[in-house]
Structure 1
Amino acid sequence: MSGPCITTLLKSYKLSRLFPTIMEEARMVQSLGMRSTQMTPTRTQYTSVISQLEQRDLSYESAIRSLNALQSNAATLQKIRKERQKHVHLNLPQTRLYLERSGVTQDMLNNLKVIHISGTKGKGSTCAFCESILRQYGLRTGFYSSPHLVSATERVRLDGEPVSRAKFTQYFWEVYDKVCRGRSSEDRPPYFQFLTILAFNIFIREKVDVAIIEVGIGGEYDCTNIIQNPVVTGITALGLDHTNILGNTIAEIAWHKAGIMKQGTPTYIDGNQHSDALKVISARSRELSASSLSQVPELDQFNWDRYPPVLGLHGQIQRRNAALALTLSKAFLVATYPELLPVYDVQPLVISHQPMEGSGDIDTVQPFQISGNMALGLRLADWPGRTQMVEKERLQYYLDGAHTEESVRACASWFNKASKQAISPDDKIYKVMIFNTSGDRDPQVLLTPFLSCHLDLVIFTTNLSGLQGAVDQENFTTTDKIQLDRCKSHLHLWTKLHTKRFEVADENLRSSLPPITSGNSVPAVIIPLISDVILWLNNDSKLQEGQAGSNLIADIPAPVHLLDADRIQVLVTGSLHLVGGVIACIQEDGMPPRRTIDPELVARYKNPDIPGEQLLLPSEKPKCHLRTGRYNNVPGML
């Protein structure tokens, strides 16, 4: 009588739970050179199987591969998008189910002190400002955001730093084994839902004093909205994005974003919104019984005292994000850690019942005095890949993952100013834009503002880095063909924009564009892999040696002006995934560059006897007029 087949034997010993899917089980059997349904294992073969199972790969790379397996493939994703509205109401109950399966109850989550922030643009930056401010008060901070640029560890931060690979791996397998292992694909959370559950596990186990949580998409049905008891909630600027999920109007999108408001919890918002959005937010605050709804003042209305108004994140749009972050941070401290505030500062925020013009019936927070910790937190805030400049020899990379209509306009404005300030008068400059989009975003809307950037060349590429072993950047939600077809569409559209076949609807934007003539159209090329783009821009010898990832670029001659330029200014925008791919290619360690903190500067901020003049860096002093309180041309200053 023949013995059981190997698969049956494994299951009889209840070892199949070590395989997430039948496919993994089959791969194990195949690796042993056996056919699962026909061969009876000998004792030696069985012992070999047990040995391999006991030596299960629990490395970081294996964790990321298992995480990536939770992504929906491109075909499945299309089906999900079409049917999403039918099942969207199930998202939160499912998230709670998986959370409890991981060992975290709703009561445990409710005890976490949370700042919950939604919005279309600036929500990540606002979270980064909040985290930096609260860390200056000595709090242990947790910060959950998405997407990551290079490494999945960036999504979960402790004390301002991405969680270490070792800690990520440890917590990943603990949660994965409880939630996913041995279960069918239908009984596992998808990628973002799993990471949300993982983040909550880490923050609770690491005993953070505050968890700053950025909403993924929308708010009402977002996985993060299982939070029932936030200390305070915030809503940043709204715009049209993820329209296939949230709706095609600003009012529909506002309904989703406002869904994070909770009974008895104050909400603060960026009041520079479309009137339709403000009406919906106001109505939803009453529907959800928020304790209050207030818009924040402009940043320059706060009392800065002796502190220079310097922001760590550059660009005009960051002023609004910083104002919201100041308000959220103070409201959080007053409610949870009043002992950390000076005596004069422990009172609740004062609300003016005289709304700003155009804000409907929404009250306004009265400006308050900024403390040294708040000013320092704003100055040291670090949010890689957003209005960030990185220099690599003669190449200056301007990185901004802007991907909405409002944010690309802000990006174009920032690039125009920053690129002028970063060069000498005699430098020969060559300006390049590397561009891509993702999802269902309108490329015409995203490309048009860059017509005013006086570019010399545009390179359309995919989000594929072309690097070996870049498991953190694997994306199964799209295909190579889809990405390359999108590049071709972008190139076709760019050509049409330069021949005026498309009319720019916005009058202000149209008036700022240079006249289009046959002699000033900006050429564009397609280079499919990001790593090849970087090699090509550097005129790297690997191209001549035939070692580039794509043979295509060897046939694209570099423009003479590019080769002769003293400075090549490279704007990378349109997609955070693209920015991440570029960072992975240009950084030696493949990780986003981090801000260097000067401990002496920190000490000066902490010392109340140091005058304001000494809080400026030497390079900033000649550009500042302290007696008039005006600061001119200083990066990050108001």
Structure 2
Amino acid sequence: MDRKTVTQTTAADEIDHLMRLHPKGYDLSLGRIEGLLEKLGNPQDRLPPVVHIAGTNGKGSAGSFCRAILEAAGMAVHVHTSPHLVHWHERFRIGEKGRPGQLVDDAVLADAIRRVARANNGEQITVFEILTAVAFVLFSEHPADAAIIEVGLGGRFDATNVIKEPAVSLIMPISLDHQAYLGDRVELIAAEKAGIIKPGVPVVVGFQQEDAARDTVVSTADRLGCTVSVYGQDYHAHEEHGRLVYQDETGLADLTLPQLPGRHQLSNAAAAVRALKAAGFSIPDRAIEEGLQNAQWPGRMQRVTGGPIVAQAAEGAEIWIDGGHNPAAGQAIAEMIAELEEKQPRPLFLISGMINTKDPVGYFAAFSGMARHVYTVPVTSSDAGVDPVALAEDAANGGLSAQPAADVRQALEMMREDFADMEAAPRILIGGSLYLVGEVFADNGIIPS
């Protein structure tokens, strides 16, 4: 009897096909995606209330807090983030009533990609734009109470900025990054990030280290007739007796500390709480408490306690992974490492890989005087990876002792040999790129879910 075998392509197959068809990288404009969405019936206009998040650092953390708090309040929450660490599915989380949202099913994602690609009909477009359209299609077809949409790059011309009226625009910390696309001064970058602000839509501004960034965002919001809440002015948070004290014009809330490590997560959590309030969600304090306890954001100061990497490292080594990749992120990570050092002193080593759109010297300078040595490694999952030899020179220019290695495992082996007589088991930070974090996760069997 004759049998026909039907091969069903996976989401990865569909995306690989798109990657061969369309240019890589960024092409910041809205015309292409607006035309595509028109062909798809404008799904971006049929989303649940949207929390739209821009910023250089802290977008993912704020989004994870928002999601966890809303889910603790019993709501179904869609989430679109980028980039992913291991699998494309991480970019699309589908909200479900009564339980935490789940990463999209592969068959559902593959079908949505096929439909969007068919509508595009081979027209010039970037893969990020197609995948953003996929998120809008998926989220419009699955009922939910809220959608958290993270900007990919910049804001004004980012593909997510076709949302006409979000429930709130949340602008997280802004610093120098992607200067080739966004400008070489923080106020220019802030103007691009503030491009997500829509007339009359509430704006929440997270902690800003630079006054120029804050002032640029606030002036944009004022010009567009938006109510504005600024961290440190209209709301703030601090730690007191092992608790998070949040305050805004409605009063004080005594909350649990965020599970996500680092003092900067206090202001990130506060920004998320304020954004949800500004968006009009009714959130009881118990849901905020539960959300702060449950929020997770893979690859950000994440401790690795098992797997091949731990087996390869020196006995008793403490291994952390963080995808932060710009000077401001480096400073925040260094502060977290300093807190760990106060509790338990250990020699610090970095294993770092970066891509060529970043400021490696500024990143490494944050660890000057802290790190014993840096091993630089290639980032093989990106065409923009910096050569380890050149990156070691950047680390040296940042004030650190450094040498290249072939990969993370070789770096760990070299560390065992070069520093066999350490006074204590090392503390190792692997990072400098989310691409590198994804490679390490895949190699170590860590799959974000």
TM-score by length of 2: 0.85
What residue is the counterpart of 1:225 in the other structure? 161
Aligned-residue offset at 1:128: 1.0
The verdict on how the C-alpha distance between 1:62 and 1:251 changes in structure 2, with shifts beyond 3 A counting, is same
In the TM superposition, 1:544-555 aligns within 5 A as: none
Q: Choose the corresponding residue for 1:573, options 428, 431, 439.
A: 431
The 8 Å contact of residues 462 and 528 in structure 1, kept in 2 or not, is answered as yes
What residue is the counterpart of 2:392 in the other structure? 491
Q: Over residues 386-431 of structure 1, what are the superposed CA-to-partner deviations in whole Å (9 max), with x where a residue is unaligned?
A: 121121254432111111221101101112323554x5x8xxx554
Q: Does 1:105 align with 2:49?
A: no
Task: Report which stretch shifted further, 392-401 or 259-268.
Answer: 392-401
Q: Over residues 165-213 of structure 1, what are the superposed CA-to-partner deviations in whole Å (9 max), with x where a residue is unaligned?
A: 3332232223233324xx2xxx142121111111111111111211101
One-letter amino acid matched to 2:409: I
Aligned-residue offset at 1:104: 3.3
Name the % identity: 27
Please state which structure has a larger fraction of its residues in helix.
1
One-letter amino acid matched to 2:164: Q
Q: Does 1:373 align with 2:295?
A: no
The 8 Å contact of residues 47 and 136 in structure 2, kept in 1 or not, is answered as no
Q: Choose the corresponding residue for 1:447, options 364, 389, 411.
A: 364
The 8 Å contact of residues 562 and 568 in structure 1, kept in 2 or not, is answered as no
One-letter amino acid matched to 2:405: I
In the TM superposition, 1:314-353 aligns within 5 A as: 314-334=261-281, 338=282, 341=283
One-letter amino acid matched to 1:195: L
The 8 Å contact of residues 347 and 371 in structure 2, kept in 1 or not, is answered as no
The verdict on how the C-alpha distance between 1:71 and 1:132 changes in structure 2, with shifts beyond 3 A counting, is farther
What residue is the counterpart of 1:417 in the other structure? 339
Residue aligned with 1:451, SS: coil
Distance 2:318 2:102 in 1: 25
Distance 1:420 1:496 in 2: 27
The verdict on how the C-alpha distance between 1:201 and 1:431 changes in structure 2, with shifts beyond 3 A counting, is same
What residue is the counterpart of 2:110 in the other structure? 169
What residue is the counterpart of 1:129 in the other structure? 65
The 8 Å contact of residues 110 and 227 in structure 1, kept in 2 or not, is answered as no
One-letter amino acid matched to 1:383: W
The verdict on how the C-alpha distance between 1:451 and 1:228 changes in structure 2, with shifts beyond 3 A counting, is same
The 8 Å contact of residues 238 and 254 in structure 1, kept in 2 or not, is answered as yes
In the TM superposition, 1:10-21 aligns within 5 A as: none
Q: Does 1:584 align with 2:437?
A: no
What residue is the counterpart of 2:152 in the other structure? 216
Please state which structure has a larger fraction of its residues in strand.
2
Distance 1:299 1:405 in 2: 24
In the TM superposition, 1:176-195 aligns within 5 A as: 176-180=117-121, 183=122, 187-195=123-131
Q: Choose the corresponding residue for 1:95, options 33, 36, 61.
A: 33
Distance 2:418 2:379 in 1: 27
Distance 1:261 1:404 in 2: 24
Distance 1:407 1:240 in 2: 10
What residue is the counterpart of 1:200 in the other structure? 136
What residue is the counterpart of 1:294 in the other structure? 229
The verdict on how the C-alpha distance between 1:306 and 1:222 changes in structure 2, with shifts beyond 3 A counting, is closer
One-letter amino acid matched to 1:114: V
Aligned-residue offset at 1:564: 7.7
What residue is the counterpart of 1:613 in the other structure? none
Q: Choose the corresponding residue for 2:176, options 216, 229, 240.
A: 240
Q: Over residues 356-408 of structure 1, what are the superposed CA-to-partner deviations in whole Å (9 max), with x where a residue is unaligned?
A: xxxxxxxxxxxxxxx01011101110000112112125443211111122110
Q: Over residues 428-481 of structure 1, what are the superposed CA-to-partner deviations in whole Å (9 max), with x where a residue is unaligned?
A: x554211122132222111111123242x32111112xxxxxxxxx54x43xxx
Number of positions where the alignment pairs a residue of Structure 1 with one of Structure 2: 422
Distance 2:11 2:440 in 1: 22
What residue is the counterpart of 2:406 in the other structure? 528
What residue is the counterpart of 2:242 in the other structure? none
Residue aligned with 1:255, SS: helix
Distance 2:390 2:189 in 1: 27
In the TM superposition, 1:400-549 aligns within 5 A as: 400-418=322-340, 421=343, 431-455=348-372, 457-464=373-380, 474-475=381-382, 477-478=383-384, 483=385, 486-498=387-399, 522=401, 524-529=402-407, 533-534=408-409, 537=412, 539=413
The 8 Å contact of residues 437 and 575 in structure 1, kept in 2 or not, is answered as yes
The 8 Å contact of residues 461 and 487 in structure 1, kept in 2 or not, is answered as yes
Aligned-residue offset at 1:231: 0.9
The verdict on how the C-alpha distance between 1:57 and 1:449 changes in structure 2, with shifts beyond 3 A counting, is same
TM-score by length of 1: 0.61
The verdict on how the C-alpha distance between 1:285 and 1:402 changes in structure 2, with shifts beyond 3 A counting, is same
One-letter amino acid matched to 2:302: Q
Distance 2:180 2:215 in 1: 22
Aligned-residue offset at 1:566: 7.0
Aligned-residue offset at 1:490: 1.7
In the TM superposition, 1:597-612 aligns within 5 A as: none
One-letter amino acid matched to 2:37: L
Q: Choose the corresponding residue for 1:278, options 189, 197, 214.
A: 214
What residue is the counterpart of 1:69 in the other structure? 20
Q: Over residues 508-531 of structure 1, what are the superposed CA-to-partner deviations in whole Å (9 max), with x where a residue is unaligned?
A: xxxxxxxxxxxxx73x332233xx
Residue aligned with 2:305, SS: strand
Q: CA RMSD in A?
A: 2.8
Residue aligned with 2:368, SS: helix
Residue aligned with 2:51, SS: strand
One-letter amino acid matched to 1:302: Y
The 8 Å contact of residues 36 and 119 in structure 2, kept in 1 or not, is answered as no
One-letter amino acid matched to 1:136: A
The 8 Å contact of residues 241 and 404 in structure 1, kept in 2 or not, is answered as yes
The verdict on how the C-alpha distance between 1:161 and 1:526 changes in structure 2, with shifts beyond 3 A counting, is farther
Unaligned 5+ residue runs, structure 1? 1-50, 343-370, 465-473, 499-520, 540-555, 595-638
What residue is the counterpart of 1:509 in the other structure? none
The 8 Å contact of residues 58 and 173 in structure 1, kept in 2 or not, is answered as no
What residue is the counterpart of 2:313 in the other structure? none
The verdict on how the C-alpha distance between 1:241 and 1:305 changes in structure 2, with shifts beyond 3 A counting, is closer
The 8 Å contact of residues 172 and 205 in structure 2, kept in 1 or not, is answered as yes
